């Protein structure tokens, strides 16, 4: 599958690097307003591929995205001093209006994969701008938060995070919901597993894991300015599910008809991902506290996206 990436900054280039090294895409094309940056990133990634895959990596213009099966949107503008969040979002909406039009003019059948933050609101904006079915406009959502949750649970339980099945729902942000009630390790609940191996999930342990998941991005940004490797790998994982029609269950964001009484809101729940995009939503069983938290997250996102003029 040919994959386009609009935005050759750290997130876009990290996604391209992950796609190239895993061989998930047959071709990766990087597009950026800064042509020198796109060329440099593509050349650097291309020099890594001989060690791992036959993926071809190049820089190009929008017309080079023709026949792309997936186009990752990792573009946008930075916040100006004194600029409020709504003004920033409206400027990003203007950027996306141009980008989405250019992409769909040459790749009308592509699935759009949104990586720009705030990702849930940008997913909603892109869905409205493109006129595409929500199943074909997928935000990375909480795929990275979910990976962090599983990683920390695996570390505490001293097992591989790939044997942990736990999800973060709602917003990719401060209102996200860690769903402890249905988290499992192997075939049993994480609480039961923890007790069996002598690593109980006390309230203090849960609070520490919650804090580390919820605030991971802040710590990383404080240390090195931005996050990109984790989300780059997450984007590559979503592309793999599409390219191979894996029908994998991943926590991603799309405009959802109804969640906890909130209609037409973009947020994350587990979804089945295949060649056509999102094939099915899976609403997990939650306890009362988690239901309430997911409802708050949905209402917050709806309130944030409603005022944005398109």
| Residues designated as active site | 172
Q: How far apart are CA 308 and CA 310, in angstroms?
A: 6
Neighbouring CB atoms inside 10 A of 26's CB total 15
Q: How far apart are CA 295 and CA 301, in angstroms?
A: 10
Neighbouring CB atoms inside 10 A of 108's CB total 10
Q: How far apart are CA 52 and CA 281, in angstroms?
A: 34
Residues whose CB is less than 8 angstroms from the CB of residue 35 and which lie 6 or more positions away in sequence, other chains included = 59
Tokens of 189: 């609940």
Strands 164-165 and 184-185: antiparallel
Q: Report residue 245 CA to chain centroid gap.
A: 18
DSSP state for residue 166 in the 8-state scheme: -
Reference 23, options 239, 232, 231; nearest CA is 239
Tokens of 105: 């003019």
* Residue whose entry in the numeric block shows the structure tokens 């402890």: 180
Residue length of the chain: 310
Identify the H or E element spanning 104.
helix 85-106
Reference 114, options 70, 63, 77, 66; nearest CA is 70
CB 273 within 8 A of CB 285: no
Q: How far apart are CA 93 and CA 89, in angstroms?
A: 6
What residues form DSSP beta bridges with 15?
Answer: none
């Amino acid at each position: 599958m040919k994959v386009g990436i609009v935005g050759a900054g750290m997130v876009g280039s990290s996604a391209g690097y992950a796609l190239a090294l895993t061989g998930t895409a047959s071709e990766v094309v990087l597009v950026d307003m800064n042509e020198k940056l796109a060329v440099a990133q593509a050349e650097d990634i291309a020099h890594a591929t001989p060690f791992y895959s036959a993926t071809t990596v190049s820089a190009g213009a929008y017309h080079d995205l023709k026949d792309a099966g997936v186009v990752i949107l990792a573009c946008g503008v930075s916040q100006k001093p004194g600029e409020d969040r709504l003004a920033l979002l409206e400027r990003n909406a203007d950027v996306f209006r141009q980008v989405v039009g250019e992409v769909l003019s040459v790749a009308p059948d592509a699935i759009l994969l949104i990586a720009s933050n705030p990702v849930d609101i940008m997913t909603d904006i892109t869905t409205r701008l493109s006129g595409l079915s929500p199943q074909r406009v997928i935000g990375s959502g909480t795929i990275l938060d979910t990976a962090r949750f599983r990683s920390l649970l695996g570390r505490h339980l001293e097992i591989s995070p790939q044997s942990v099945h736990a999800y973060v729902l709602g917003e990719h942000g401060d209102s996200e919901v860690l769903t402890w009630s249905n988290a499992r390790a192997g075939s049993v609940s994480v609480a039961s597993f923890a007790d069996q191996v002598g690593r109980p999930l006390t309230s203090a342990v849960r609070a520490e894991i919650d804090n580390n998941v919820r605030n991971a991005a802040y710590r990383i940004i404080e240390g090195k300015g931005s996050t990109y490797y984790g989300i780059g790998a997450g984007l590559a994982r979503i592309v793999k599910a599409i390219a191979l029609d894996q029908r994998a269950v991943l926590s991603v964001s799309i405009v959802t008809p109804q969640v906890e009484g909130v209609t037409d809101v973009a947020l994350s729940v587990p979804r089945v991902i295949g060649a056509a995009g999102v094939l099915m939503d899976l609403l997990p069983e939650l306890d009362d506290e988690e239901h309430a938290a997911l409802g708050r997250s949905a209402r917050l996102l709806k309130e944030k996206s409603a005022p944005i003029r398109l």
